[in-house]
């Protein structure tokens, strides 16, 4: 927000006019002084904009939203459900129709299509050196419901942050948080693919929390804001214990954004700003730009962030499964109950083709089914297997 500093007008002065009259005699002349007060109009007030609290125009976050929507449309075009699947939802949409609910309840593409488009597949990251998937997966979504929820949240959270801190810092916060979320997800969930901008979104929430902490002294109603933000974050993380939700991406994105907030979103103190923009002649004190606790948090957070991302990336590229070192951590992503299971093994089926008859048996639950298909594609077989194993 632009804060304006009012400079005091210059002091008005009394002007003295001297009138001289000369007599006609030889005695010379007499000088008479007439003081005249001249009314002076008040000087115009000069204003300066304080750039440290400038209100930015948000344009990057809307561009991110558009990019995600465009990527989803392209993904649905590549998916082409009528050609690659036996049944589709909303077939009237043509190649933009959705996979069956049993295969994808989010109204979206198949897992094979998401893999083609750059979903996070740990085996390909490790064995085929496709580390770029740690970034591209953040721009893909599993379905209409998925992208609607994420993009609405991005608009609500991201625009406010970009207006306050600018597109550079918020853009870096979004991208790096998404990478951190993907990294933690890849270390713990190595059997399934993962897509979505949730890790980056939680990074923005983490940045908001750390920004409130590091700039604590310049806020009013800070306790109420802190409690409200913590409750919102806790509720969103609690939703992550449901099945088919990658809560490790949420946790990793939040932790990364939380540390980045201390680095990117630090503000100078009001006393330092007031003195810097004070009028000439204003007495200045030797004030530091940041408080000591802000500097400590900045240094510690930067070190933790660099070390954490580096160690995590090295562990991933070496094929380390973090579940082997933490037997209870899988409960952070899914808690099994009587109503749902947390089994996330990929679907494997045994199939045999006799003429136009395709016989399939799911290896995980033992279910079998017979389909009438002539020369089915690999995408059709994988889709039928996914439905059969659910």
**Is 250 designated active site?**
yes
**Is 283 designated active site?**
no
* Residue-wise DSSP of 179-218: HHHHHHHHHH--SS-B--SHHHHHHHHHHHHHHHHHTGGG
- Choose the catalytic residue: 85, 198, 210, 333: 198
Q: ∠75-182-81 over CA atoms, to 5°?
A: 20
- Choose the catalytic residue: 97, 250, 301, 333: 250
Give the three-state DSSP class for 357.
Answer: strand
- Partnered with residue 19 across adjacent β-strands are 32
DSSP H/E element including 251: helix 247-264
Identify the CA nearest to 330 among candidates 310, 318, 345, 315. Answer: 345
Chain centroid to CA 136 = 14
Q: Which residue is listed with tokens 């920004």?
A: 211
The CB density around residue 156, as the number of other CB atoms within 10 Å, is 12
Residues taking part in catalysis: 198, 250
């Amino acid at each position: 927000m632009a804060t304006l500093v009012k400079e005091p007008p210059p002091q008005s002065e009394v002007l003295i006019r001297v009138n001289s009259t000369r007599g006609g005699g030889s005695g010379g002349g007499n000088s008479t002084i007439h003081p005249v007060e001249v009314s002076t109009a008040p000087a115009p007030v000069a204003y300066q904009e304080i750039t440290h609290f400038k209100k930015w125009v948000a344009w990057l976050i809307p561009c991110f939203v558009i990019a995600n929507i465009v990527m989803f449309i392209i993904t649905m075009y590549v998916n082409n459900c009528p050609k690659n699947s036996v049944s589709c939802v909303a077939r009237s949409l043509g190649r933009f129709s959705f996979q069956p609910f049993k295969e994808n309840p989010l109204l979206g593409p198949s897992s094979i299509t998401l893999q083609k488009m750059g979903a996070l597949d740990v085996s390909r990251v490790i064995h085929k050196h496709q580390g770029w998937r740690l970034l591209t997966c953040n721009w893909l979504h599993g379905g209409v419901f998925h992208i609607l929820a994420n993009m609405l949240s991005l608009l609500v959270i991201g625009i406010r942050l970009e207006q306050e801190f600018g597109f550079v810092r918020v853009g870096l916060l979004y991208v790096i948080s998404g990478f951190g979320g993907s990294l933690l997800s890849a270390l713990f969930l190595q059997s399934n693919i993962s897509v979505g901008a949730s890790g980056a979104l939680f990074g923005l929430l983490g940045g908001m929390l750390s920004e409130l902490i590091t700039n604590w002294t310049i806020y009013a109603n800070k306790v109420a804001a802190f409690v409200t933000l913590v409750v919102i974050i806790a509720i969103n993380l609690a939703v992550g214990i449901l099945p088919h939700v990658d809560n490790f991406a949420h946790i990793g994105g939040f932790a990364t954004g939380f540390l980045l907030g201390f680095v990117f979103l630090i503000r100078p103190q009001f006393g330092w700003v007031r003195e810097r923009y004070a009028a000439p002649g204003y007495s200045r004190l030797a004030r530091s730009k940041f408080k000591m606790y802000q500097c400590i948090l900045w240094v510690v957070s930067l070190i933790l962030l660099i070390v954490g991302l580096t160690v995590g990336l090295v562990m991933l590229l070496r094929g380390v499964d973090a579940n082997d070192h933490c037997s209870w951590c899988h409960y952070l992503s899914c808690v099994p109950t009587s109503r749902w299971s947390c089994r996330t093994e990929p679907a494997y089926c045994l199939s045999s083709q006799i003429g136009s008859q395709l016989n399939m048996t799911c290896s995980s639950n033992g279910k079998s089914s017979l389909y009438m298909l002539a020369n089915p594609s690999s995408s059709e077989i994988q889709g039928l297997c996914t439905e059969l194993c659910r």
